[in-house]
Amino acid sequence: LRNIKLTIEYNGTAYKGWQVQTKKACSRAKTIQETIERVLYRMLGERVRVAASGRTDAGVHAKAQVANFKTHSLITPEKLQEGLNGLLPGDIAVVEAKEVDAGFHSRFSAKSKIYRYTILNRLCRSAFLKETAYFCRYPLNVRLMRQEARSLRGTHDFKAFQATSKKEKKSIRTIERIDIIRDHELIHIDIEANGFLYTMARSIVGTLIDAGRGKLQRGALKKILDSKDRKMAGPTAPACGLWLMEVKYD
Tell me how far apart the alpha carbons of residues 161 and 136 are, in angstroms, rounded to a whole number: 21
Tell me how far apart the alpha carbons of residues 209 and 220 are, in angstroms, rounded to a whole number: 12
Tell me how far apart the alpha carbons of residues 169 and 249 are, in angstroms, rounded to a whole number: 24
The reply to whether 9 sits near a second copy by the rule CB under 8 A is yes
At 201, which helix (H) or strand (E)?
A: helix 200-212
The reply to whether 183 sits near a second copy by the rule CB under 8 A is no
Would you say 61 or 159 has its CB closer to a second copy? 61
Are 239 and 163 spatial neighbours (Cβ–Cβ below 8 Å)?
A: no
* Angle between helical axes of 200-212 and 142-149 (0-180°, round to 10): 130
Tell me how far apart the alpha carbons of residues 28 and 125 are, in angstroms, rounded to a whole number: 24
- Cβ burial of 170 (10 Å; 0-12, 13-18, 19+) is exposed
Give least dist CB 17 to a second copy, A. Answer: 15
The reply to whether 1 sits near a second copy by the rule CB under 8 A is no
The reply to whether 11 sits near a second copy by the rule CB under 8 A is yes
Give least dist CB 19 to a second copy, A. Answer: 18
The reply to whether 25 sits near a second copy by the rule CB under 8 A is no
Pick the stretch among 125-133, 159-167, 220-228, 232-240 that binds a second copy (CB under 8 A): 125-133
Which residue of 31, 35, 68, 81 would you call a contact of a second copy, by CB under 8 A? 81
Pick the stretch among 93-101, 109-117, 194-202, 227-235 that binds a second copy (CB under 8 A): 93-101
User: What torsion do the CA atoms of 161, 164, 166, 172 make, to the nearest 10 degrees?
Assistant: 30
Would you say 19 or 147 has its CB closer to a second copy? 19
Pick the stretch among 118-126, 140-148, 214-222, 229-237 that binds a second copy (CB under 8 A): 118-126
Active-site residue flag, 57: yes
Number of residues that make up the chain? 250
Pick the stretch among 42-50, 90-98, 163-171, 197-205 that binds a second copy (CB under 8 A): 90-98
Would you say 32 or 145 has its CB closer to a second copy? 32
The reply to whether 184 sits near a second copy by the rule CB under 8 A is no
Q: How far does the chain reach from its first CA to its final CA, in angstroms?
A: 23
- One-letter amino acid of 83: G
Site residues, a second copy (CB under 8 A): 9-11, 61, 81, 85, 90-95, 122, 124-128, 130, 132
Q: Which residues are catalytic?
A: 57
